[in-house]
Amino acid sequence: MGCYWAGPFVIKVYDFKEPLQLPLRERCDLALLDASEVLPGGLDEAQLVTNRRTALPLHP
């Protein structure tokens, strides 16, 4: 799984298991609450966690 920083207000997460199969499958499109929200660590297969929210589901 990978993350593309689309700008200061949106985080887009893509599945990079097979990076040569395009288009990449989008797992999450997260509109940030404000500029202080960040991803403090890694991602797992089912959820995304930020410093302000927990257990945001990813698209299967």
Count the domains in the chain: 1
Q: Report the pLDDT averaged over residues 15-36.
A: 85
- What single string gives the DSSP state of each residue in 1-60? -EEEE-SSSEEEEEE-SSTTSSSPEEEEEEE-SSTT----S---SSEE--SS---EEPP-
Confidence of residue 23 (pLDDT cuts 50, 70, 90): very high
Q: Once rounded to an integer, what is the mean pLDDT over residues 18-34?
A: 86
Answering whether pTM is above 0.85, one says: no
Query: Which domain does 26 fall in, by range?
Result: 2-57
Q: Please report the pLDDT score of residue 20 as a whole number.
A: 94
Residue 39 has pLDDT above 90, yes or no: no
State yes or no: pLDDT of 25 exceeds 70: yes
